[in-house]
Amino acid sequence: MGSSRKHACIQGRTNTSRLYLFGLLLVAASCQGDSSPSPDRALPEPLPELPEPSKADRDKAQLVRIDVYGAATDDAAGARVVLLFEGAPLFRQKQLPANGMLPARIAIELEDVEWGAGVPVSQFVERGGLRRVRLATPNPRVVLDLQPGATGRLFYLTDPYRIVVDVSAVSRLRQKRRPLVVLDPGHGGREPGAANERHGLVESQVALDLAELTASRLSAIMPRVRVMLTRSTDVDLSLEERCALANAMEADAFVSIHLNASSEPVRKGGVTTFVLDTTNNRQALRLAARENGTRVAEVTGIQSLLAKHHRRTQAKGSRTLAGKIQRHTLKRGRSVLPKLSDRGVRQAMFYVLVGARMPSVLLEASFLTYEPEARALTHRNYRRALADGIASGIASYLLGR
């Protein structure tokens, strides 16, 4: 990548490390993006103590409605319960463990609140971690009965006043359901990534094409596997959103697809697959800075903190996945370009991988700035070969688990 073709994402994102640290401490598991950390995407965690509306100048509130969202399918990963009020209620929340016949539950104790005649006394859900929502007395309260292992977090919104509980289902369902692979075409929208002007190649477009080819190939060789793309058009997508989707869907593997580039002339290109880790390798740091849209100094400054949040078991799965993708992509790629270089599996600090709660890798499938590979990328058969390789690598990983 020549200096004249600077990554769009480098601009306007150089000052996000503090924001990032804040987000990390807040949720410990969402990816860095250029949007501010979203509490809605936080991991389920012990319910925090919330400030309550002051008792002064308050009319008696009424519970008008209870809505349940997101639990539409048997394998829903979660559910959202919204209590809608007229006026602002006083409430206290309690998280209660399973006890004899009673399941684990979240109780929202209401003070001085009436409920409307239309609010059902009991709503059975039995999905998304939520068994049912019920009203209980004598101290008026709304109780969410949870399915085993499910957790919830509560927050409130005003105007109109709503108490919202996000329930996260246990991953027990994961054993039975079909494996899900999330493919993440790098960049997009205002962040085109690297480019090769001579051949008219733009990283975001090539990555999207490779992801689509990989998806159809993977579906063909493993019909049981579900495949999702983080984006299917040329749109902006924050790094945070990319892995949040994979987390929300409880994906089994997350593969971010990119094309490499170098500001200096390269004598050889090649395929590299990255797993998340700390590194002091200068080249890896430079690449990470480019893909993250930050400066090298910021990458080194926060990497040790980030690494702590990457779980060990997940790191092992990521290394296995990376090894398979690297090997198969290289093998298929060499059917078109026999001299395609093996740059190996490496470690780097890619924000897009930080928050992922499943084995996750970032693939640099070829070099846009290495002439033979750039030229090959203008042809369908080379892209197809790379996609076949990526798909075979993922399939081999899923089969070997």
Which residue lies nearest Zn ion, judged by its C-beta? Answer: 258
Of residues 130, 122, 120, 155, the one with CA closest to residue 71: 130
Q: Which residue has the tokens 């969410």?
A: 144
Span interacting with Zn ion, options 177-185, 290-298, 332-340, 366-374, rule CB under 5 A: 290-298
Span interacting with Zn ion, options 96-104, 162-170, 283-291, 305-313, rule CB under 5 A: 283-291
Span interacting with Zn ion, options 122-130, 169-177, 258-266, 383-391, rule CB under 5 A: 258-266
370 Cβ partners below 8 Å, 6+ apart? 262, 266, 268, 269, 270
- The token duo for 248 is 């929300």
- The token duo for 34 is 């250029």
DSSP per-residue letters across 302-365: HHHHHHHTS-HHHHHHHHHHHHHHHHHHHHHHHTT-TT--EEEEEEE--HHHHT-SS-EEEEEE
CB of 204 to Zn ion, least distance (A): 8
- Site residues for Zn ion, window 354-383 (CB under 5 A)? none
- Report the distance separating Cα 165 and Cα 106, nearest Å: 9
CB of 332 to Zn ion, least distance (A): 21
CB of 27 to Zn ion, least distance (A): 24
Identify which of residues 108 and 374 has a Cβ nearer to Zn ion in the complex: 374
Among 153, 226, 258, 328, binds Zn ion (CB under 5 A): 258
Q: Is 193 an interacting residue with respect to Zn ion (CB under 5 A)?
A: yes
Q: Total binding residues for Zn ion by CB under 5 A? A: 4
Identify which of residues 93 and 292 has a Cβ nearer to Zn ion in the complex: 292
Identify which of residues 133 and 386 has a Cβ nearer to Zn ion in the complex: 386
CB of 287 to Zn ion, least distance (A): 9
Identify which of residues 133 and 363 has a Cβ nearer to Zn ion in the complex: 363
CB of 193 to Zn ion, least distance (A): 4
Of residues 235, 270, 252, 243, the one with CA closest to residue 340: 270
Of residues 238, 68, 51, the one with CA closest to residue 166: 68
Identify which of residues 186 and 323 has a Cβ nearer to Zn ion in the complex: 186
Please state, as a whole number, how many other Cβ atoms lie within 10 Å of the Cβ of residue 271.
Answer: 27
| Count of CA atoms in the C-beta half-sphere (13 A) of 304 | 4
Span interacting with Zn ion, options 18-26, 32-40, 100-108, 193-201, rule CB under 5 A: 193-201
Span interacting with Zn ion, options 37-45, 127-135, 179-187, 215-223, rule CB under 5 A: 179-187
Span interacting with Zn ion, options 43-51, 91-99, 287-295, 301-309, rule CB under 5 A: 287-295
- Report the distance separating Cα 352 and Cα 244, nearest Å: 10
Bridge partners (DSSP) of residue 229 are: 183
CB of 140 to Zn ion, least distance (A): 54
CB of 10 to Zn ion, least distance (A): 12
CB of 243 to Zn ion, least distance (A): 15
Identify which of residues 76 and 352 has a Cβ nearer to Zn ion in the complex: 352
Q: Is 293 an interacting residue with respect to Zn ion (CB under 5 A)?
A: no
Identify which of residues 131 and 258 has a Cβ nearer to Zn ion in the complex: 258
Bridge partners (DSSP) of residue 83 are: 66, 163
331 Cβ partners below 8 Å, 6+ apart? 389
The gap from C-alpha 351 to its chain's centroid, in whole angstroms, comes to 11
CB of 322 to Zn ion, least distance (A): 16
CB of 108 to Zn ion, least distance (A): 45
Q: Is 7 an interacting residue with respect to Zn ion (CB under 5 A)?
A: no
DSSP per-residue letters across 28-39: SS----SSPP-G
Q: Is 333 an interacting residue with respect to Zn ion (CB under 5 A)?
A: no
Identify which of residues 193 and 333 has a Cβ nearer to Zn ion in the complex: 193
Q: Is 186 an interacting residue with respect to Zn ion (CB under 5 A)?
A: yes
DSSP per-residue letters across 257-305: EEEE--SS--S---EEEEEE-----HHHHHHHHHHHTS-HHHHHHHHHH
Could you list the residues that contact Zn ion (CB under 5 A)?
186, 193, 258, 291
